[in-house]
Amino acid sequence: MEGPSDLELKRRQLKNQMSTVQTRKQNAVCVRRAFKKYGTKSSPYIILDGLNMTVPKGTIYGLLGSSGCGKTTLLNCIVGRKRLNAGEIWVLGGTPGSRGSGVPGPRIGYMPQEVALYGEFTIRETLKYFGWIAGMKNKAIEEKLSFLVEFLMMPDADRQVKNLSGGQQRRVSLAAALVHEPELLILDEPTVGVDPLLRANIWNHLVQITKNGSTTVIITTHYIDETRQAHLIGLLRGGYLLAEESPSRLITQFNAQSLEDVFLKLSVIQNMGKRRRSSIAQGVAETITVPTGVVNEAATIDDEVCEISGEFGDNISIASRGRRVSISPDTTDIITPMEIPPDEEPPVKCSEYLKILKTNHMKALIWKNYLWMWRNIPVMAFIIGLPVLQTILFCLTVGHKPLGLNVAVVNNEIDFPDEKCELTPGCNSTRLSCNYLHFLQNRSINLLYYGTTEEAIHTVEKGAAWATVEIPANFSESLRNRIIRGRSVDEWDLDGSTVLVYQDKSNENIGTFLQRDFYYSLQSFFEDFAISCNYDPKVGRVPIRYEKFIYGEDSPDFTNFAAPGVLLTIIFFLAVALTSGSILLERNEGILERSLVNGITGTELLCSHLITQFTVMVFQTILALFVAFGIFELDQNGNIFLVAFLTILTGFCGMFFGFVVACCCENERSATYMAMGSFLPIVMLCGIIWPIEGMYPILKIVSFVLPLTKSTESLRCILAKGWDLTSATVYEGFIATLIWIMIFLTISILALKFKKG
Ligand SMILES: Nc1ncnc2c1ncn2[C@@H]1O[C@H](COP(=O)(O)OP(=O)(O)OP(=O)(O)O)[C@@H](O)[C@H]1O
CB 70 near ligand 1, within 6 Å? yes
Q: Give the Å distance between the CA of 75 and the centre of ligand 1.
A: 11
Q: To test ligand 1's pocket by mutation, which of 38, 67, 77 has the most ligand atoms within 8 angstroms of CB?
A: 38
As for the ipTM of the complex, it is: 0.96
CB 47 near ligand 1, within 6 Å? yes
CB 67 near ligand 1, within 6 Å? yes
Q: Give the Å distance between the CA of 240 and the centre of ligand 1.
A: 14
The closest-lying atom of ligand 1 relative to the alpha carbon of residue 65 is 21
Q: Give the Å distance between the CA of 54 and the centre of ligand 1.
A: 22
CB 445 near ligand 1, within 6 Å? no
Output the residue whose Cα is nearest ligand 1's atom 4: 38
Q: Give the Å distance between the CA of 256 and the centre of ligand 1.
A: 29
CB 391 near ligand 1, within 6 Å? no
Looking at residue 317, what is its pLDDT? 36
Output the residue whose Cα is nearest ligand 1's atom 13: 68
Contact 273, 299 (CB under 8 A): yes
Q: To test ligand 1's pocket by mutation, which of 69, 81, 588, 667 has the most ligand atoms within 8 angstroms of CB?
A: 69
Output the residue whose Cα is nearest ligand 1's atom 31: 68
Amino acid at 636: Q
Output the residue whose Cα is nearest ligand 1's atom 23: 68
**pLDDT per residue as tens digits for the range 271-308:** 766 544 334 334 444 444 444 433 433 333 333 333 33
Q: How many residues does the chain have?
A: 757
Sheet containing 86-91: order of strands: 44-56, 27-39, 86-91
Q: Give the Å distance between the CA of 72 and the centre of ligand 1.
A: 7
Output the residue whose Cα is nearest ligand 1's atom 17: 72
CB 72 near ligand 1, within 6 Å? yes
Amino acid at 301: I
CB 235 near ligand 1, within 6 Å? no
Distances (CA, A) of 45 to 37, 48, 70, 78, 319: 5, 9, 11, 20, 19
* Cis peptide leading into residue 337 (ω within 30°): no
**Which domains, and CATH codes, for the chain?**
6-107+182-328 (3.40.50.300), 359-395+557-754 (no CATH), 405-540 (3.40.190)
d(C-alpha 580, C-alpha 676), whole Å: 12
Q: Give the Å distance between the CA of 458 and the centre of ligand 1.
A: 70
Sheet containing 60-65: order of strands: 108-111, 184-188, 216-220, 60-65, 232-237, 240-245
Neighbours of 585 (CB within 10 A): 15
CB 69 near ligand 1, within 6 Å? yes
CB 236 near ligand 1, within 6 Å? no
Q: Give the Å distance between the CA of 588 and the centre of ligand 1.
A: 15
What is the per-residue DSSP string for 583-641? HHHHHHTTHHHHHHHTT--HHHHHHHHHHHHHHHHHHHHHHHHIIIIIIS-----S-HH
Output the residue whose Cα is nearest ligand 1's atom 30: 68
Looking at residue 22, what is its pLDDT? 63
Output the residue whose Cα is nearest ligand 1's atom 18: 70
Q: To test ligand 1's pocket by mutation, which of 40, 49, 53, 71 has the most ligand atoms within 8 angstroms of CB?
A: 71
Distances (CA, A) of 86 to 37, 82, 634, 695: 10, 12, 62, 52
CB 238 near ligand 1, within 6 Å? no
d(C-alpha 622, C-alpha 594), whole Å: 36
Q: Give the Å distance between the CA of 67 and the centre of ligand 1.
A: 8
Looking at residue 351, what is its pLDDT? 58
Contact 141, 134 (CB under 8 A): no
Q: Give the Å distance between the CA of 161 and the centre of ligand 1.
A: 26
Q: Give the Å distance between the CA of 47 and the centre of ligand 1.
A: 8
Q: Give the Å distance between the CA of 68 and the centre of ligand 1.
A: 5
The closest-lying atom of ligand 1 relative to the alpha carbon of residue 38 is 4
Output the residue whose Cα is nearest ligand 1's atom 11: 68
Give which of 165, 127, 120, 132 is closest to 149, Cα–Cα.
127
Residues sharing a CB contact under 8 Å with residue 491, sequence separation 6 or more, in sequence order: none
Q: Give the Å distance between the CA of 38 and the centre of ligand 1.
A: 9
* Residues facing 64 on adjacent strands: 235
Contact 410, 453 (CB under 8 A): yes
Looking at residue 352, what is its pLDDT? 57
Q: Give the Å distance between the CA of 46 and the centre of ligand 1.
A: 10
d(C-alpha 2, C-alpha 296), whole Å: 9
CA quadruple 690, 693, 698, 701: dihedral sign = positive
Q: To test ligand 1's pocket by mutation, which of 43, 47, 114, 587 has the most ligand atoms within 8 angstroms of CB?
A: 47
CB 68 near ligand 1, within 6 Å? yes
The closest-lying atom of ligand 1 relative to the alpha carbon of residue 113 is 27
Q: Give the Å distance between the CA of 70 and the centre of ligand 1.
A: 5
Backbone angles phi, psi at 37, to 5 degrees: -135, 155
Output the residue whose Cα is nearest ligand 1's atom 24: 67
CB 223 near ligand 1, within 6 Å? no
Report, as ranges of residue numbers, the positions in the chain whose pLDDT lies below 70: 1-25, 99-101, 272-355, 556, 755-757
Output the residue whose Cα is nearest ligand 1's atom 28: 68
Q: Give the Å distance between the CA of 215 and the centre of ligand 1.
A: 27
Q: To test ligand 1's pocket by mutation, which of 35, 37, 45, 46 has the most ligand atoms within 8 angstroms of CB?
A: 45
Q: Give the Å distance between the CA of 239 and the centre of ligand 1.
A: 12
